[in-house]
Structure 1
Amino acid sequence: MGRLTRPQELAVGERVRFEGQVRLILAVSGRAVTLSDMGGTSRSVPPAVLFAADDFEAVDSLGRMPLPPVSLLETLPQAALEKALWWEGHVLEVLRGLPPEATAGTEPKPQYSLSRSLTARERAKAAELTAAGHRVTAGTVANRRRRYEKDGVMGLADHRPVRKTPKYGTVDDAVVAAMRQAITEATDASTRTGTFLLWRTEQILKARDDGSEVKLPSRRTLYRLLDKLTTGTHTTGSATTRRSRAHGAAAPFGELPAFAPGEVMQIDSTPMDVLVRLDDGVAGTVELTGMVDVATRTVTAAVLRPTTKAVDASVLLARTVTPELMRPGWVDALRMSRSVLPHRRLLSLDERLEHAAARPVIVPEMIVCDHGKAFMSRNFLASCRFLEIDLQPAHKGSPFEKGHIEKMLGSVGTLFTQFLPGFTGRSTEHRGRDLDKQPLWSLLELQELLDEWIVAQWQNRPHDGLRDPATPGRSFTPNEKYAALVEACGYVPVALSSEDYVELLPTCWRAVNDYGIKLKRRTYDSPALAGLRRQHSGVREKKGLWEIHHDPYDVARIWVRNHHAGSGWIEATWKHLHQVPVPFGELAWDHAAQGLPEATEAEIADAVAALLAKAHAGPDQPAKPKRSARDKRVAARTRSTRSLTPTADDLAPPAPATTDAGTDEPDEDAEPLAEVIPLGLFNPLEDPWRRT
């Protein structure tokens, strides 16, 4: 007889099995329990009689079998599956009176009639199977029936062929705990191999306080255990990834929703995998600092510096909230007026967008950053307060909280940096040879190329994270997503004025001389400085110097605060702006033609292809001057003078001049060379007043 389920208490509304039927409890008293009957009439049964019944048990439902787990059934061997299905047919005949393959209208066998108790039907099934050659008892049939009602077909299957072994086998729990401790200690340490971790596990076991001796398994078993415990932890891999996974959030990842441009933006910096020619002529690396809008994936600004500082983050913020103007040399297809952006609507709010490039101007509401010094500095925090921006630092060791900017900075290396000369690769094992001998771009030239690439390719490239929920097969570009969200939000944030932009720029103090203002070996001047030359600014704390604001990425102009006339600004330009072709130089913009058609995909693709080809070629190298025949002869004669003392050959008359073709005919343009008289040797013991 199988184990019966006895409830702790009976309540009205519960269901119990009694005399082969599932009945509903209608009333409960100390003398009788009123049960429903199949005929529709109720039946009162004393509690003692009810509890003494062989087939009595409490049930939670009307006896509906659970759905068969098809996916789990596929994991069973074929023989075990056929055996479980065979048992299912017999159990269903016990429960319902008919086997599953019975046709409609078939009457159940007398021994399986529902009028008989469940126990009687189970005994009849056991006798039938025994007579057919399968030795089973009524208790076995009852056990199979209960397992089927609980777990369905899987309850009838033999799980011994697919029984799972213990997770760590027969390894002692103390060894597992010691190895876990060794792995935990390695989280913030330098990366070591598995040999060290096994040694550390042994040391931890020896230092136990209980004094018990734990027998270590074989070396191969320990390595298998280490492989199981370190799966996904990068214990012997990248230290950065290991710390990120260990100190990251344990709860499921969430995402801060962003439904409008500027609602959530992210900022970060990373080393750029390319060599550039720095100001001192030495090849070096630079850092890329960028800001991306989460809602539209728009890169609002990206700047390059040898080392990211607080002032660079403030300049990046200033560039984010101001239009990106077209520059000389950019193709006309990159204008905002020829893009999918709502140019006319934006132009009514800001006339500066008439000459702007196709990059949206987005004013941040919230900026997510890490705990870098550049973003936690007083300068950057003051800029955010000035613009009423909520600065939200991410949790330490949780780069996934700003995953959009992390992915964007990585995509720059894949889509742009690898096309540049001097590309170093992501690690030393991916680095080539003689990179510093290639024609490297300067920092300002590379900044110019990066700005053009963002406008030309990034803003017009379909982004996998910008998909329409109604049509997931289509992905939007950042410019298309911005245009769609502007229509949905119903408002456009107004960009900063030119005065606000200047206020966010770095500050220095200089004197206004007759020739202008000297800043980093460049001279700036303007006719508006006529009344300020060699004058005291009135700021005693700065010894009469004048406040200068400048853009580190734009050497074309600076701004001087007019302390004598209040807080106005005077713009001064570089004196050699029109003579020296440098990036960010001339800011004379062409007037935009009205009614231009939108730029086609072919025009944008051509612009991107030309940009990458130009970037890969490197800067133009100055051509070596072509030397004349005379210059070659002088150089050859100079190299041939190896001895400091004159010889007979040196005092001989010069040989006839020859042409470049190697003939003895004299060159028509050749001039007679003077006789070369080398200097004599200096003798310190010789009388200098004696004439020779």
Structure 2
Amino acid sequence: MRQAIDEAVDASTRTGTFLLWRTGEILKASPEGQQVKLPSQRTLYRLLAKLTAGTHTTGSATTRRSRAHGAQGPHGELPVFAPGEVMQIDSTPLDVLVRLDSGVAGKVELTAMVDVATRTVTAAVLRPTTKSVDASALLARTVTPELMRPGWVDALKMSRSVLPHRRLLALDERLEHAAARPVIVPEMIVCDHGKAFISRNFRPACRFLEIEFQPTHKGSPFEKGHIEKMLGSVATLFAQFLPRYAGRNSDHRGRHLEGERLWSLLELQDLLDEWIVAHWQNRPHDGLRDPAHPGRLFTPNEKYAALVEACGYVPVALSGDDYLELLPAEWRVVNDYGIRIKNRTYDSPELGRMRRQDSGIRAKRGLGEVHRDPYDVCRIWVRDHRRDNTWVQATWKYLNRVPGPFGDLAWDHVSHQLPRATEAEIADAVAALLTRAHAGPQTETGPQSSKRDRRVAARTKAAGPVTPASASAGTSCEDAPEESEETLAEVIPLGLFDRLEDPWKRPGRHPRPRRPSGT
């Protein structure tokens, strides 16, 4: 039975009936077990209850794995004494339906970073799907002040908060129009083994900012419990007050959610940023207590103001080139026609000196370093290693065919629909997809777009360029040819059924044949 319980640690949750059956199968497979006579069912269930006490074998799979793979000794605590000394990052689905575009409703993922010393949420972004570039952009937002936005009250300014605004403004002039959210430079980032954080894009971004990268053990979410708790608090303190709140699972989901109004992704992102500045940073936290007076609770802003007096403040200003450094990198050959990435051709006159030339990077076999924004496939940036590592921008060859920036999601969606299409045909198809999705649902004379097409276009537009290094395309798309109206066939309704009527007397029926005599 212990062996059956150990096998169930990483498997899906099953009931005690399966565990008892598995116990019998293990006994049958062993030479000694064939001579063992099983006790009654009640005795087996009592034994199973004792052996599975506290293991969640028939309960939550996440808790079961965490208990099984967790530390057996006493839990320790990593001491932190300065803001940014240890920070944690994680992502989770937000339990709210969001209007992406053209009325399409869908869920988004929340990626956030929290400072352990002050419990400050330095940055939080909403994306349809979390990618490595989103985690890299989160680093840029962490070291960048949160500027006041139109519609925010003056009470949210840093100058009117408990933060030492005057002293910080003398060191960093970017804080003049900043909101009351501290700017913290990470020294160590703790994360799990999610693909967005273990990728080759997020880790070089940490090395670029000289941040120590520390992943947790697999199946050990308690090692980053602060961000886990913070993401759960967002659901109870913020998300449940929004329309279309779906609950954390199907048991907590309401009915008739489609009848409620929806926030768009950009509007919800603005509300989340305002909520963090207004509520979270000014909310007393149970983990921030005065050691001399344990009964007093500090807010994240108050804790930051107290620690910055002892630890100081280090301003970090990111330039446009720094944002390009945080974008995901690929290695390609600069040919005569330019650079090809996912069947897209990029070219620029400034690439002339780099064509068919060795970049000098032996570890990459002389290939050129290319950085690109996955949410904007209109342009890429190529590093010139032989000229002071400057950046050269290359534009997509068929940029004049599309009405605006679109990302890999829309491109891959149309590529699967047209597997043998040329690059120009795919570009025209993507432009037509965005045009149909922007036009909305089908009308009597309008074009028809599938739900999948609208969802892909909506998620692409909702994501948008991640960094300010991306520029929007200013070209207009070509007029699409008018579609010919199809003539609808005549609809012939079915008649009413009468069970007492003779079916052979109905109009249009042939007379009932008579049976021949003698049969």
Range class of TM-score, shorter chain: 0.5 to 0.7
Q: What SS does structure 2 have at the residue aligned with 1:292?
A: strand
Closer/same/farther in 2, CA of residues 209 and 302 from structure 1, 3 Å limit = same
Q: Counterpart amino acid of 2:324?
A: E
* 2:108 match: 286
Alignment of 1:530-679 (within 5 A): 536-538=349-351
Shift of 1:221: 1.8
Structure 2: which 5+ residue stretches go unaligned? Answer: 331-346, 357-369, 394-487, 491-519
Q: What SS does structure 2 have at the residue aligned with 1:368?
A: strand
Q: Counterpart amino acid of 2:131?
A: K
* 1:492 match: 313
* 1:298 match: 120
* 2:185 match: 363
* 2:297 match: 475
Q: How many residues align?
A: 363
Q: Are 2:96 and 2:107, in contact at CA under 8 Å, matched by a contact in 1?
A: yes
* 1:627 match: none
Shift of 1:432: 1.1
1:198 corresponds, among 11, 16, 20, to: 20
Q: Counterpart amino acid of 2:248?
A: R
2:94 corresponds, among 272, 293, 296, to: 272
Closer/same/farther in 2, CA of residues 216 and 419 from structure 1, 3 Å limit = same
The separation in 2 between residues aligned to 1:436 and 1:409, in whole angstroms, is 25
Closer/same/farther in 2, CA of residues 273 and 542 from structure 1, 3 Å limit = farther
Q: Counterpart amino acid of 2:3?
A: Q
Q: Counterpart amino acid of 1:425?
A: G
The separation in 2 between residues aligned to 1:232 and 1:541, in whole angstroms, is 63
Percent identity, aligned pairs only, is 74
Alignment of 1:171-190 (within 5 A): 179-190=1-12
Q: What SS does structure 2 have at the residue aligned with 1:304?
A: strand
After TM superposition, the score normalised by the length of structure 1 is 0.49
1:440 corresponds, among 262, 268, 281, to: 262
Q: Deviations over 1:483-536 (max 9, x none)?
A: 0001122x2121223446533554799xxxxxxxxxxxxxxxxxxxxxxxx983
* 2:172 match: 350
Q: Are 1:460 and 1:479, in contact at CA under 8 Å, matched by a contact in 2?
A: yes
* 1:502 match: 323
Q: Deviations over 1:6-53 (max 9, x none)?
A: xxxxxxxxxxxxxxxxxxxxxxxxxxxxxxxxxxxxxxxxxxxxxxxx
Q: Deviations over 1:400-450 (max 9, x none)?
A: 110000000000000000011111101011111232332111111111110
Shift of 1:212: 5.9
Q: Are 1:275 and 1:436, in contact at CA under 8 Å, matched by a contact in 2?
A: no
The separation in 2 between residues aligned to 1:340 and 1:257, in whole angstroms, is 25
Q: Counterpart amino acid of 1:416?
A: F
1:329 aligns with 2:142: no
Alignment of 1:115-514 (within 5 A): 179-210=1-32, 213-489=35-311, 491-499=312-320, 502-504=323-325, 506=327
Structure 1: which 5+ residue stretches go unaligned? Answer: 1-178, 510-533, 571-680, 684-692
Closer/same/farther in 2, CA of residues 317 and 474 from structure 1, 3 Å limit = same
Closer/same/farther in 2, CA of residues 359 and 305 from structure 1, 3 Å limit = same
Closer/same/farther in 2, CA of residues 682 and 405 from structure 1, 3 Å limit = closer
The separation in 2 between residues aligned to 1:250 and 1:540, in whole angstroms, is 61
The separation in 2 between residues aligned to 1:341 and 1:297, in whole angstroms, is 15
The separation in 1 between residues aligned to 2:6 and 2:131, in whole angstroms, is 35
Q: Deviations over 1:171-224 (max 9, x none)?
A: xxxxxxxx1111111111111111111111122223222366223222212111
Q: Counterpart amino acid of 1:536?
A: P
* 1:16 match: none
Q: What SS does structure 2 have at the residue aligned with 1:464?
A: strand
Q: What SS does structure 1 have at the residue aligned with 2:95?
A: strand
Higher relative contact order (CA 8 A, sep 6+): 2
Q: Are 1:318 and 1:504, in contact at CA under 8 Å, matched by a contact in 2?
A: no
Q: Counterpart amino acid of 1:393?
A: P
Q: What SS does structure 2 have at the residue aligned with 1:466?
A: strand
The separation in 2 between residues aligned to 1:407 and 1:338, in whole angstroms, is 29
Shift of 1:566: 9.3
Q: Counterpart amino acid of 2:349?
A: H
Q: Counterpart amino acid of 2:170?
A: S
Q: Counterpart amino acid of 2:193?
A: H
The separation in 1 between residues aligned to 2:329 and 2:32, in whole angstroms, is 68
RMSD: 3.2
Q: Are 2:125 and 2:269, in contact at CA under 8 Å, matched by a contact in 1?
A: yes
The separation in 2 between residues aligned to 1:560 and 1:422, in whole angstroms, is 40
Closer/same/farther in 2, CA of residues 493 and 209 from structure 1, 3 Å limit = same
Q: Are 2:90 and 2:113, in contact at CA under 8 Å, matched by a contact in 1?
A: yes
Q: Are 2:20 and 2:44, in contact at CA under 8 Å, matched by a contact in 1?
A: yes
Shift of 1:281: 3.3
Q: What SS does structure 2 have at the residue aligned with 1:242?
A: helix
Shift of 1:315: 0.3
Q: Counterpart amino acid of 2:2?
A: R
The separation in 2 between residues aligned to 1:182 and 1:549, in whole angstroms, is 49
Q: Counterpart amino acid of 1:503?
A: L
* 1:617 match: none
The separation in 2 between residues aligned to 1:198 and 1:245, in whole angstroms, is 22
Closer/same/farther in 2, CA of residues 408 and 501 from structure 1, 3 Å limit = farther
Q: Counterpart amino acid of 1:453?
A: W
After TM superposition, the score normalised by the length of structure 2 is 0.65
Closer/same/farther in 2, CA of residues 458 and 487 from structure 1, 3 Å limit = same
The separation in 2 between residues aligned to 1:357 and 1:501, in whole angstroms, is 23
The separation in 1 between residues aligned to 2:381 and 2:67, in whole angstroms, is 50
The separation in 2 between residues aligned to 1:433 and 1:539, in whole angstroms, is 61
Q: What SS does structure 1 have at the residue aligned with 2:91?
A: strand
The separation in 1 between residues aligned to 2:294 and 2:148, in whole angstroms, is 34
Q: Are 1:361 and 1:495, in contact at CA under 8 Å, matched by a contact in 2?
A: no
Q: Are 1:266 and 1:291, in contact at CA under 8 Å, matched by a contact in 2?
A: yes
Q: What SS does structure 1 have at the residue aligned with 2:286?
A: coil
The separation in 1 between residues aligned to 2:322 and 2:164, in whole angstroms, is 23
* 1:602 match: none
